[in-house]
């Protein structure tokens, strides 16, 4: 089963619209690779200028969040239709920063996944364990619970549209990467869980990324693992390293 690799940058709350355009100019020449789906997930205010800047390239654009309703009195939120109309096609859902700082739980994230799919956005669904959970030996149980809850009620056909990002919380922004064996173990467990929920064919079609301090020096090793189909990159997506990761 061949799965197209997907390397996505998560810019987080970095880059003003003019800085975003400048970053696109730096990165565009570095990420041209037709074998890889390249995505820039950017702050809502940067979506329009980034879509404009990457026109005619192989780069897709994503949002970092969406709300579960279509429109209305939800001050500060953005809808799937707004994201799509701005020209983005992907959306990050369930990043650990949103789970922690904005108290987003799996029931809410499940609604976001369903909304994204209903509207035709590709959800990049994040899951991951804390250091405490890893040390207690409950990583796989925890990840299985997250996956089962976040995909609850999602059909096999729709699940194939989802990209899952395994991001151990202790590795995000810390410079501490999971070893390729640790990352592969969890990504393989995620695939086994998907096969249980759906079937092997569906599980084999779903792309699973690793995220957590991935950079130009460790990307090739992580991406060489059979169940790691790409990366979700934070810090290193804001510099030339991102090009090296795409081509790793
Ligand atoms: C992330 O925030 O999704 C991430 C993986 O960050 P970093 O690469 O900086 O660890």
Res. 120: pLDDT tops 80: yes
Alpha carbon nearest to ligand 1 atom 7, residue:
234
Percent of the chain whose predicted confidence (pLDDT) is above 90: 97
User: Can you list the positions of beta strands (E) in the chain?
Assistant: 5-10, 36-42, 59-63, 90-93, 122-127, 163-166, 207-211, 230-233
> For residue 176, what pLDDT band results from cuts at 50, 70 and 90?
confident
Q: Which atom of ligand 1 is nearest to the CA of 167?
A: 5
Q: Is 95 a known active-site residue?
A: yes
Print the SS3 string covering 105-140. Answer: CHHHHHHHHHHHHHHCCEEEEEECCCHHHHHHCCHH
Res. 99: pLDDT tops 90: yes
CATH of the domain at 21: 3.20.20.70
Q: Which residue among 64, 95, 97, 129 is the active-site one? A: 95
Q: Which atom of ligand 1 is nearest to the CA of 237?
A: 8
Q: How many CB atoms lie within 10 A of CB 29?
A: 10
Q: Is 69 a known active-site residue?
A: no
Q: Whole domain around residue 44: which residue ranges?
A: 5-246
Percent of the chain whose predicted confidence (pLDDT) is above 70: 100
The Å distance, Cα 199 to ligand 1 centre, comes to 30
Domain count, the chain: 1
């Amino acid at each position: 089963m061949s799965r197209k690799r997907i390397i996505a940058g998560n810019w987080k709350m970095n880059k003003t619209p003019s800085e975003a355009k400048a970053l696109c100019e730096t990165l565009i020449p570095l990420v041209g690779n037709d074998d890889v789906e390249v995505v820039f997930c950017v702050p809502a205010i940067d979506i329009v200028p980034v879509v404009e800047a990457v026109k005619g390239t192989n780069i897709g654009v994503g949002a970092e969040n969406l709300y579960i309703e279509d429109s209305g009195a939800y001050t500060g939120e953005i809808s799937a239709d707004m994201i799509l109309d701005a020209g983005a096609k992907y959306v990050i859902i369930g990043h650990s920063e949103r789970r922690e700082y904005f108290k987003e739980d799996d029931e809410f994230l499940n609604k976001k996944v369903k909304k994204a799919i209903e509207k035709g956005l590709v959800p990049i669904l994040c899951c991951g364990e804390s250091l405490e959970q890893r040390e207690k030996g409950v990583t796989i149980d925890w990840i299985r619970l997250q996956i089962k809850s976040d995909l609850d009620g999602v059909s096999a056909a729709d699940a194939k549209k989802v990209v899952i990002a395994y991001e151990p919380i202790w590795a995000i922004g810390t410079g501490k990467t999971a070893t390729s064996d640790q990352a592969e173990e969890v990504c393989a467990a995620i695939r086994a869980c998907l096969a249980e929920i759906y079937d092997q064919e569906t599980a084999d079609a779903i792309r699973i990324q690793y995220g957590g301090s991935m950079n130009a020096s460790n990307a090739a090793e992580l991406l060489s693992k059979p169940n790691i189909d790409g990366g979700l990159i934070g810090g290193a997506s804001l510099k030339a390293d991102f090009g090296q990761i795409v081509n790793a």
